[in-house]
Amino acid sequence: MKAASALDYRALARRRLPPFLFEYIDGGSYAEVTLRRNVAELERIALRQRVLTDVSTIDLSTSLFGEAMAMPVGLGPIGLAGMNARRGERQAVRAAEAAAIPFALSTVSCCPLAEVAAAATRPFWFQLYMIRDRGFMESLLDAARAAGCTTLIFTVDMPLPGARYRDVHSGLAGAPGLRGDLRRVWQGVTHPRWAWDVGVRGRPHQLGNVAPVLGRDSGLEDFLGWMKANFDPSVTWRDLEFIRARWDGPLLIKGILDAEDARAAVALGADGIIVSNHGGRQLDGVPATVTALPAIVEAVAGRIAVLADGGVRSGLDVVRMLALGAQAVLLGRAWVYALAAAGEAGVAHMLRIIEAEMRIAMALTGRTRIADIDRTCLVEG
Question: Which residues are registered as beta bridge partners of 68?
Answer: 63
Q: Which residues contact 56 (CB under 8 A, 6 or more apart)?
A: none
Rounded CA-CA distance 338/333 in Å is 8
User: Which residues touch 160 (CB under 8 Å, ≥6 apart)?
Assistant: 228, 231, 233
Contact between residue 74 and residue 334 where contact means Cβ atoms under 8 Å apart: no
Residue 378 pairs in a beta bridge with: 47
What residues contact 305, with CB distance under 8 A and at least 6 apart?
64, 65, 252, 271, 272, 273, 327, 328
Query: Read out DSSP for 328-360?
Result: EEEESHHHHHHHHHHHHHHHHHHHHHHHHHHHH
Cα separation values, 333 from 24, 28, 242, 264, Å: 11, 11, 31, 28
Q: Determine the Cα–Cα distance for residues 199 and 250; give it in Å rounded to an integer.
A: 36
In 3D space, the residue among 72, 27, 37 whose CA is nearest the CA of residue 291 turns out to be 37
- Is the bond leading into 176 cis (omega within 30 degrees of zero)? no
CA distances from residue 181 to 187, 193, 338 in whole angstroms, order as listed: 10, 19, 26
Query: How far is residue 143's CA from residue 212's CA, in Å, rounded to a whole number?
Result: 12
Report how far residue 267's alpha carbon sits from residue 244's, in angstroms, rounded to the nearest whole number.
12
Q: Does residue 278 carry a catalytic annotation?
A: yes
Rg (CA), the chain: 20
Say if residue 108 is exposed, middle or buried (CB neighbours under 10 Å; 0-12, 13-18, 19+).
buried
Of the residues 169, 191, 205, 278, only one is catalytic, namely 278
Q: Give the Å distances, CA to CA, from 4 to 9, 11, 14, 245, 313.
A: 8, 11, 16, 45, 12
- Give the active site residues: 278
